[in-house]
Amino acid sequence: MGPSPKSKSSLKRLSPEVKYKRILLKLSGEVLMGGKSGKALDDRTLGSIAGQIKEVVDLGVQVGVVIGGGNIFRGLEAAAGGMDRVSADFMGMLATVINSLAMQEYLEKRHTFTRVLTAIEMAEVAEPFIRRRAVRHLEKGRVVIFAGGTGNPYFTTDTAAALRASEVGAEIILKGTKVDGVYDSDPVKNKKAKKYDRVSYLDVLNKGLKVMDATAISLCMDNKIPIAVFNLYEKGNLLRIINGEKIGTLVA
């Protein structure tokens, strides 16, 4: 019997210029809306993000993704309006699954092999999250999209990103946003807002800087996972960070 054929999604040789071998990309649901269309899922924005992910995957970088669900449903807002918090949070988790399936579609249109792993079991839609399986998919060069948050109410997708990054051994969390980093105040409302090039975990917690929620920041601090906050709408930024350029704000 001859040798078995190689998987089309086998791991590519890592390009020598890249700084990180395994990353976790965190996207808010609102990022998928784009700027002007007003749609929950903007075709051009999804295509642009998928293209940027493909660029780094083609360099041999292993990519995990966590996407929020705020473009479709926000559990906290629904709970504030009187809905049961647990029910609202589970509805938010289902919104993240919709976003994850959309991102999978746009990645695979670009011939980038992708797996969606959910914290809530739904076998007809995606694979259940199993840590060893997730790591194996990453090792084979597949983009792994972690859907369904942590699978528990009262936790955000920020915390899910920190948790999954810790579990699969990601070297950094890259938080793609609409702004070019972390500021001491809202740069839209305050034209004199100061941008940080680098800030510590404790400063984020003590100053209440809007990077991730306190649980996520604490988890990253405990596991020594840096967080890079950058403008995802500027094409090429993701690739620049992977190549070691100082883009946005680094929390470390």
Whether 205 has a pLDDT exceeding 50, the answer reads: yes
Residue with the bigger pLDDT between 247 and 77: it is: 247
DSSP E strands: which ranges in the chain? 22-27, 62-67, 114-118, 127-128, 143-147, 172-177, 182-183, 195-196, 198-199, 227-231, 249-251
pLDDT of residue 1: 42
Distance CA 149, CA 96 (A): 7
Q: What is the per-residue DSSP string for 34-47?
A: -SSS--SS-HHHHH
pTM: 0.90
Of the pLDDT bands very low, low, confident and very high (cuts 50, 70, 90), residue 188 is confident
- Give the mean pLDDT of 115-138: 97
Whether 21 has a pLDDT exceeding 70, the answer reads: yes
Distance CA 235, CA 113 (A): 21
SS3 169: coil
Contact in structure between 118 and 105 (CB atoms under 8 Å): no
pLDDT of residue 7: 44
Instruction: Quote the mean pLDDT of the chain.
Output: 91
The full 3-state SS of 137-164, as one line of letters, equals HHHCCCEEEEECCCCCCCCCHHHHHHHH
What sign for the dihedral angle of Cα 90, 92, 95, 96? negative
- 34-48, 161-175, 196-210: which range is least confident on average? 34-48
The candidate with the shortest Cα–Cα distance to 67, out of 97, 110, 35, is 97
Whether 51 has a pLDDT exceeding 50, the answer reads: yes
pLDDT of residue 17: 77
Question: In CATH, what number does 22-251 get?
Answer: 3.40.1160.10
